[in-house]
A and B are shown apart, each in its own frame.
Chain A
Amino acid sequence: MFNKSAKGNFLDEVRKQKALILISVPYFVYFLIFSYLPLWGLTMAFQNYKPQLSFFEQEWIGFTHFRNLFTDPDFYRVMRNTLGMSIINLVLSFVTAIAFALFLNELTGPFFKFKRVVQTISYMPHFLSWIIVCGLVSNALSMDGGIINELLLATGLVKNKIHFLGEASYFWWIVGFTNVWKSMGWNSIIYLAAITSIDPALYEAAAIDGYGRFGRMWHITLPGIKSTIIILLILNAGWILNAGFEVQYILGSNGLVLDVSETIDIFVLKRGFGRSGGFAFGTAAGMFKTVVSVIVLTLCNKIADWVGEEKLI
């Protein structure tokens, strides 16, 4: 980028691009303050942090907070919950979005209008807040006139109402299906777009070869979007420690299922703000999450790049 030959050239360029540079300065400062400056706060993780002392008066205690973190049984519990819910979310959201896209794609000809309506409606929940979605879920699952319990009773599938949100073994699945409800339609957009780039001649050839509808879906459509699926799967796997915060916090707020509902983010929040002097420990826990996330993300992005190139060759 920089011309080897002369410093003068560089300064000339600077002068010529003065406007662009001046516009960029506030953005540079903005990112510096809001994204990079907080990194300084990570030093807290290595201090016996006392809010009333200045930075230079803090006592440095090395990795004590991390040692405490790794010997804390709660830490292993929240890690288990985080990974468990992440994997359920990942698998459920992929399978449902792909299946939804595949079947939606089958609606052609006279069903075109219907397809449009289904699509429009299916994107909608993506735009609702987690508060609203959790409110809807807790209404639907309520013991007190919730539609799911009413339906189960009416069809005779159960004899007594089920306290869905009070039962630890249901919680991860409730979170998983809540995620599906909210994002299935939205996630399917990318697959529907990928499907449109499949050569229509392939379908005709398959039809001549005697493949039925499902045969074509399985042998043409699915392989046609395979690379999209793989790349998205790898990219999403990078966010494995982001199992979510809001759903678990709200749906788990009745306190009956805390054992399985608390994720690493909730742990950071509760330890950091909930206990006096918890700031430093909470920072250490948050830092652990960030460091692991960055490593996993970088790895996944590298793999996705590599797979993407492989595909092109």
Chain B
Amino acid sequence: MRKSFGDKIIDGIIVFFMAIIVIIMVYPLWNTLITSFNEARDSMKGSLYLWPRKWTLFNYQSVFKTDKIFKAFIVSVARTLITTIVGVFISGLFAYVLSRKEFIFRKFLTTFMIMTMYINAGLIPQYFLYRNLGLINNFWVYVLPGLVGAFNVVVIRTYINSLPASLVESAKIDGASELKIYFNIIFPLCMPVLATVALWVAVGSWNSWFDSFIFAPKQELSTLQYEMMKILSSSMQSGVKQPDYLAESHTSRSTVTPNSLRAAMTMVATVPILVVYPFLQKYFVTVNIGSVKE
């Protein structure tokens, strides 16, 4: 179909609006990026729009040289890696078990698991449970509660169901054990869905701050997000005490402000996500639809 003149105008209007949307999506992060590379005292003068005025790496140095922030960064990395690797692997295993049509407890276990998506005892009973399990102020409170998510298992199972059943059957005839079938046959074939689930789990774990706030408030277990939360709320709220490293940093030669430090931390927290995400983008659509159909 050849485009008429009117069509071209409509195209132009749509492109124009899309460009505005892109700017609205990108600009806040861009502004944070240039703030993170701009000298903190200079940033306070304002009017920093498109490019840093006084380049510096000091904000990033502060992030990695401030002991508390650096430790929080390590905790964030550790919790994310452990939760993702272990979580995806064992969610996949359970999904495989639930995909086996002849399994006698399949229906019961599926219902038992799906119910957990809807029932929720609420924050306080949850807190008491973690306390009784010794998880309060314990690193594992970051890992255990989110290790096997019902939704993720359902998504992986749907994917496994779409694979030819003969794969498993012929392996069984060859005498392979269940674990072997999962490791050698199902797991490699499920890479697209596992990659997507891994991204969800990783992003969820990396971005979480509430569990630090409620279940693991002690400083040694603080995460990058939680440190950002502390800085953000101290700059928004007059009564809240700033984290002490902000006060300390003023005594040094160069200075760092809550805003600049937070800008650098925001970039540190964002870059890993931006790096992995284009590789996984192609899987979003298939998995998204699969999960809705379920």
Contacts and interface: CB of A to CB of B under 8 A. Distances in A.
A39 B119 contact: yes
A35 B21 CA distance: 41
A250 B133 CA distance: 29
A250 B233 contact: yes
A58 to B, nearest CB: 13
A253 B236 contact: yes
Interface stretch (B63-71, B104-112, B184-192, B247-255): B104-112
Q: Main SS of chain B's interface residues?
A: helix
A131 B15 contact: no
A6 interface: no
B173 interface: no
Contacts of A246: 209-210
Interface string A81-103: 00000000000000000001001
A232 to B, nearest CB: 8
Contacts of A56: none
A159 B47 CA distance: 18
Contacts of A147: 27-28, 31, 49
Interface string B21-54: 1101111110110000000000000111100000
B244 interface: no
B105 A21 contact: yes
B7 to A, nearest CB: 6
Contacts of B26: 121
Interface residues of B, number: 91
A41 B121 contact: yes
Nearest to A99: B17
B126 interface: yes
A103 B214 CA distance: 43
A103 B18 contact: yes
Interface stretch (A11-19, A72-80, A218-226): A11-19
Given A1-B107, A34-B144, A268-B122, A189 B288 contact: yes
B285 A129 contact: no
A250 B178 contact: no
Contact of B32 (A14, A139, A269): A139
B204 to A, nearest CB: 9
Contacts of B5: none
A192 B284 CA distance: 12
A117 B31 contact: no
Contacts of B46: 144-145
A93 B47 CA distance: 32
A269 B124 CA distance: 8
A196 B259 CA distance: 44
Given A44-B125, A128-B273, A253-B237, A106 B11 contact: yes
B207 interface: yes
A290 interface: yes
A193 B288 contact: yes
Interface in B164-201: 177-179
Interface string A202-228: 001001000011100000000000000
A27 B113 CA distance: 9
Interface string B133-160: 1000000000011011010000000000
Contact of A139 (B31, B47, B124): B31
A190 B288 contact: yes
B12 to A, nearest CB: 10
Interface string A259-270: 000000100110
B82 interface: no
Nearest to A128: B270
B28 A139 contact: yes
Contacts of A34: 129, 144-145
A232 B269 CA distance: 32
A48 B256 CA distance: 50
14 contacts: A23-B93, A31-B113, A38-B126, A103-B14, A107-B18, A122-B25, A132-B269, A136-B29, A140-B31, A147-B31, A279-B124, A283-B124, A283-B125, A290-B122
Interface of B: 1, 3, 6-7, 10-11, 14-15, 17-18, 21-22, 24-29, 31-32, 46-49, 93-94, 97, 100, 102-105, 107, 109, 112-113, 115-116, 118-129, 133, 144-145, 147-148, 150, 177-179, 203, 206-210, 214, 225, 228-229, 232-233, 236-240, 259, 262, 266, 269-270, 273-274, 277-278, 281, 284-285, 288-289, 292
Given A39-B121, A287-B122, 20 more contacts: A17-B104, A20-B105, A20-B178, A34-B129, A35-B119, A103-B17, A106-B14, A120-B278, A121-B26, A128-B273, A131-B207, A134-B232, A137-B28, A138-B232, A140-B28, A190-B292, A250-B236, A283-B122, A290-B120, A293-B120
